[in-house]
Amino acid sequence: MMYHDSGFGVVRAIVLPLAIALFVGVIAPAFADQTPIHAMFHSNYKRNGQSSYVGTSTNTVAWRLNTGGFVSSSPAIAADGTIYVGSYDRKLYAVDHLGGIKWTYTTQSLISSSPAIGNDGTIYFGSADSRFYAVGADGTTKWTCSGAWPPSPNPAPIYGAPVIGPSGAIYFASQTGALFCLDAATGTRIWATNLPAATSSSPTIDDDGNVYIGCSDGKLYALDPAGNTKWSISTSGQIYSVPAVGDDGTIYVTSTDSLLYAVNPDGTLKWTFGTGRSMTASPAIGRDGTIYIANQDGRVYAVSPDGNQKWVYKTFSAVTNSPQLDANDVIYFGTNGGDMYSLLPDGQLRWKTSLGSKVQSTAAIGEHGVIYVGLENTDLVAIGVVTPEPATIFQMLGLTMTGAAFMWKRRKQ
């Protein structure tokens, strides 16, 4: 029997297989993995600064987005590439990878808090207006709560970055020393406690759910998963940095007394490492256990796991933001003089670029290696090579349908 093809058959033969292939290759992965690219300050709940992505090898500035205020908030990057960052103009910005504003969310005061992104796309952050916010990926409010504990009308500004723990709970602290553990979906309090002193630091969580945070009284505090204090250890200064936890459970924290502290999980001092001046930046930990710290003396230090100096790199300006590591342990940081640096793991300069303003925030690394960082002059900057996204499946199907219709027309002629 002779088979007579129809115009619909031509279209079906072309479009249907392509649609299936596109669904499997484009749409299905989007549903399969919604893990944020850069979920929170210093990459993860251990705050070790280890990105899963290789950073750019070029120092080209791809774009600048001018906000209405200082950008000391460190960016977070969602699974779809959306960049979220707070500004002193009281807004959280949702920015696409080309630098376009998708939406903004306005609070009642400045935002220095670095956002954290849940696997469902919810963005969590605090504001100096004493409120903590959970905002959907569409920019709508999910829930808010006060930064005061017990609940009080007194100001409790939130400057630090929240952290999402291994259980999925969200943790944050306000300047008054109130520390919270909340159900991320509802904002329901799991526990809350008042630390013995004020804090501008942020909590860090280990794999067992223990919480570590530094305070203005110069102490590093450890709390168990239920929020009970386990131990504290004193430094000779104040702690503004965020602790980092190593693979062996060692906790690293810097202090304004110019020392890096390595603390055992039981709260005993392991060793200290001295630098030239006060430190407010947080440590990063390489895959080989090397600890990287930045100092107001303009130097970045690499310290071995036993507390000895491996190398030091000297810049010409103070460094107050924290080193960020890519998947190869290449180091990225900025200076108060407005320069952005990339160093190889052995301390050799990879590249340097001038951004023209104090680098306020810690860098975040995007899926294609683009570096995002905030500046004092109100800019969010992207460094690297940025390319437009490929056509959407609907655009591609539209082109395919048009082509198929054209072929059908020609066959009928």
**Is 50 exceeded by the pLDDT of residue 392?**
no
Looking at the domain assignment, is residue 362 inside a domain?
yes
What is the mean pLDDT of the segment spanning 39-48? 98
CA distance 50 to 330: 10
Looking at the domain assignment, is residue 12 inside a domain?
no
For residue 264, CA distances in Å to 44, 49, 202, 225, 391 come to 20, 20, 19, 18, 52
CA distance 212 to 219: 10
3-state helix, strand, coil split of the chain in percent (to 5) is 10, 35, 55
Report the DSSP beta bridge partners of residue 124. 116, 134
**Is 90 exceeded by the pLDDT of residue 377?**
yes
Helix-then-strand count for the chain, H and E: 3, 32
Phi, psi of 266 (to 5 degrees): -90, 5
For residue 315, the one-letter residue type is T
Looking at the domain assignment, is residue 268 inside a domain?
yes
Pairing of strands 284-285, 331-334: unpaired
Looking at the domain assignment, is residue 226 inside a domain?
yes
Both structure tokens of 83: 């960049």
**Is 60 exceeded by the pLDDT of residue 363?**
yes
Q: What is the pLDDT of residue 125?
A: 98
Answer for the pair 305, 287: CB distance below 8 angstroms, yes or no.
Answer: no
Q: What is the CATH number of the domain that holds 297?
A: 2.130.10.10
Looking at the domain assignment, is residue 266 inside a domain?
yes
Distance linking the first and last C-alpha atoms of the chain: 25
Confidence of residue 390 (pLDDT cuts 50, 70, 90): low
Q: What is the pLDDT of residue 252?
A: 98
| Residue with the two structure tokens 């930046």 | 281
Both structure tokens of 164: 């999402």
Both structure tokens of 384: 């690297």
Exposed e or buried b for every residue in 105-135, given b needs 16+ CB within 10 A?
Answer: bebeebbbbbbbbbeebbbbbbbbbbbbbbb
What is the mean pLDDT of the segment spanning 336-352? 98
Looking at the domain assignment, is residue 194 inside a domain?
yes
**Is 50 exceeded by the pLDDT of residue 37?**
yes
Q: What is the pLDDT of residue 389?
A: 66
* Per-residue model confidence as pLDDT tens digits over 178-235: 999 999 999 999 999 999 999 999 999 999 999 999 999 999 999 999 999 999 999 9
How much is the pTM? 0.88
| Max Cα–Cα distance, the chain, nearest Å | 93
What is the mean pLDDT of the segment spanning 248-256? 98
**Is 70 exceeded by the pLDDT of residue 268?**
yes
CA 262 to chain centre: 24
Write out the DSSP string of 49-107: -B-SSPPPS---EEEEEE-SS---SPPEE-TTS-EEEE-TTSEEEEE-TTS-EEEEEE-
Per residue, what are the HEC states of 146-174?
A: ECCCCCCCCCCCCCCCCEECCCCCEEEEC
Q: What is the pLDDT of residue 279?
A: 96
Q: What is the pLDDT of residue 411?
A: 52
Q: What is the pLDDT of residue 4?
A: 40
Both structure tokens of 235: 């430094």
Answer for the pair 355, 363: CB distance below 8 angstroms, yes or no.
Answer: no
Looking at the domain assignment, is residue 125 inside a domain?
yes
Q: What is the pLDDT of residue 129?
A: 98
Q: Is the peptide bond before 150 cis (omega within 30 degrees of 0)?
A: yes
* Per-residue model confidence as pLDDT tens digits over 150-169: 988 899 999 999 999 999 99
**Is 70 exceeded by the pLDDT of residue 32?**
no
For residue 199, the surrounding DSSP H or E stretch is: none
Task: Tell me which residue range forms the domain holding 250.
Answer: 36-394
Q: What is the pLDDT of residue 400?
A: 44
Report the DSSP beta bridge partners of residue 245. 251
CA distance 150 to 387: 49
| Residue with the two structure tokens 């709970």 | 169
Sheet holding 349-354, edge to edge: 324-325, 331-334, 339-343, 349-354
**Is 90 exceeded by the pLDDT of residue 387?**
no
Answer for the pair 356, 338: CB distance below 8 angstroms, yes or no.
Answer: yes
CA distance 211 to 165: 9
Both structure tokens of 398: 């539209």
What is the mean pLDDT of the segment spanning 70-80? 98
Answer for the pair 156, 130: CB distance below 8 angstroms, yes or no.
Answer: yes
Looking at the domain assignment, is residue 223 inside a domain?
yes
**Is 80 exceeded by the pLDDT of residue 29?**
no
What is the mean pLDDT of the segment spanning 111-119? 98
- Indicate the average pLDDT of the chain: 90
**Is 70 exceeded by the pLDDT of residue 20?**
no
Q: What is the pLDDT of residue 184?
A: 98
Phi-psi region of 226 (alpha: psi -120 to 50; beta: other; left: phi over 0): alpha
Q: Which of 307, 309, 333, 305 is nearest to 321 (CA)?
A: 333
CA distance 23 to 36: 21
Long-range contacts of 152-156 (CB under 8 A, 24+ apart): 155/130, 156/130
* Per-residue model confidence as pLDDT tens digits over 219-251: 999 999 999 999 999 999 999 999 999 999 999
Confidence of residue 404 (pLDDT cuts 50, 70, 90): very low
Please report how many Cα atoms fall inside a 13 Å half-sphere around the Cα of residue 351, on the Cβ side. 12
Q: What is the pLDDT of residue 33?
A: 55
Q: What is the pLDDT of residue 130?
A: 98
Answer for the pair 86, 386: CB distance below 8 angstroms, yes or no.
Answer: no
Q: Structural domain tally of the chain?
A: 1
Q: What is the pLDDT of residue 276?
A: 84
Least confident of 280-284, 379-383, 394-398: 394-398
